[in-house]
Structure 1
Amino acid sequence: MIEIAIKQFGENGIITTPTADIAKAAKVSHGTVFAHFSTQEELLISVIEEFGNRITQRLHELVDTNSSLFEVLEAHIEGLIEFEPFYTRLIIERRLLPESVCNTYIMIQSTISFHISIAAEKEIKQGTIRKVPIHLIYNTWIGLIHYYITNGDLFSPNGSVLKQYRHELLQHYINLITK
């Protein structure tokens, strides 16, 4: 059911997708949704937690403590590509979602930030990237990614903006912070 919810939320919006539509797409009764999730908010939290688990697991799989910042950022984009429609809706609609859902989103972003900061701090010490406050390293990256994702209809109207621009975005960002 979570898979169906991720797809439905990505296609139709998180706020505007009724649980009845999720039940119909999952080919279960509407009551079955509430047998698994007592409220719509609980369903949302479960969906976002699943998204978070998968994307952070992807980072853990693709990145180790000796990975370069480029490799961490590349793993981040690869993880986002898998969930791009859902993630697009999540970042656009986040401020309209219940606080508990937003808190789950923040925990996911913190985990991603942690991975980026480890690689960035190592490369700052090595002198390969500029000495920039870690929060700016993360926020500049996420701002760039979010800008392209939320404007995907302009940059890539017929497909994934991250698939189309991932190499350019990565190289541009690395060029900005490299000495």
Structure 2
Amino acid sequence: MSETKRQKQKILTRKHLIEIAIKQFGENGIIATRTADIARAAGVSHGTIFSHFSTQDELVITVIEEFGTRIIQRLHELVDTNSSLFEVLQGHINGLIEFEPFYTKLIIERRLLPESVCNTYIMIQSTISFHISIAAEKEMEQGTIRKMPIHLIYNTWIGLIHYYITNSDLFSPNGSVLKQYSNELLQHCMNLLKK
């Protein structure tokens, strides 16, 4: 019985550490945030971090996977319910809004992170692209959007998002750039795709 309580506590502690890491990475940057900073913010000993994650890279990978899982799950549900491309893109941007500080640091610092971390990021982006492509291909077949290479649809969309996020100090210095511009970005992307 006590083993079950201990296992539940360990799972809760791990989830708590991931949530705190997402927040700390978003506030201070992935590279600048130390495991000691996360432990302090989480109210645990520094050793607790390493009882859940053998290295800092493993922690970063786990955080990126958590971020990816949450967004991909939403997109998967939208694709499964035959949602429109607009709704899938809207689901994507809404998921990014939830993680905007973390995602901003991730895309700015990605090239400086270890290869294993970058590979996790690339796998998540590929899965997001796949879900967007399903909705786009359906609408191309229906004739509601122009036929074009799928990679251009995704790259145009993600390029818009990344441009606004990396220049958020210019577009929205005091708040969420994605909240402020999400409707505009969605409409612009759809206008580019319409026949």
TM-score clears 0.5: yes
- The equivalent of 1:137 in structure 2 is 153
- Write the deviation string for residues 125-163 of structure 1: whole angstroms up to 9, x where unpaired: 111111110000100100001101111111111110110
Q: How many corresponding residue pairs? A: 179
Give, in whole Å, the separation in 2 of the partners of 1:59 and 1:117.
11
Output the TM-score relative to the length of structure 1: 0.97
Contact 2:39–2:49 at 8 Å: present in 1 too? yes
Contact 1:65–1:119 at 8 Å: present in 2 too? no
Give, in whole Å, the separation in 2 of the partners of 1:159 and 1:57.
26
- The equivalent of 1:148 in structure 2 is 164
Q: Which has the larger radius of gyration?
A: 2
Give, in whole Å, the separation in 2 of the partners of 1:100 and 1:15.
14
Which runs of 5 or more residues in structure 2 are unaligned? 1-16
- The equivalent of 1:64 in structure 2 is 80
- Write the deviation string for residues 61-116 of structure 1: whole angstroms up to 9, x where unpaired: 34435211101100000110000000000001011111111111111111110111
Alignment of 1:166 onto 2:182? yes
Give the fraction of aligned pairs with identical amino acids, expressed as a percent.
85
Contact 1:59–1:79 at 8 Å: present in 2 too? no
Give, in whole Å, the separation in 2 of the partners of 1:109 and 1:175.
23
Alignment of 1:10 onto 2:26? yes
Of stretches 50-59 and 134-143 in structure 1, the one that deviates more from structure 2 is 50-59
AA paired with 2:97? I
Q: Residue 108 of structure 1: which of 101, 124, 134 is its match?
A: 124
AA paired with 2:162? H
Which runs of 5 or more residues in structure 1 are unaligned? none
Output the TM-score relative to the length of structure 2: 0.89
- The equivalent of 1:73 in structure 2 is 89
AA paired with 1:109? Q
AA paired with 1:174? M
Dislocated runs of 4+, deviation >4 Å = none
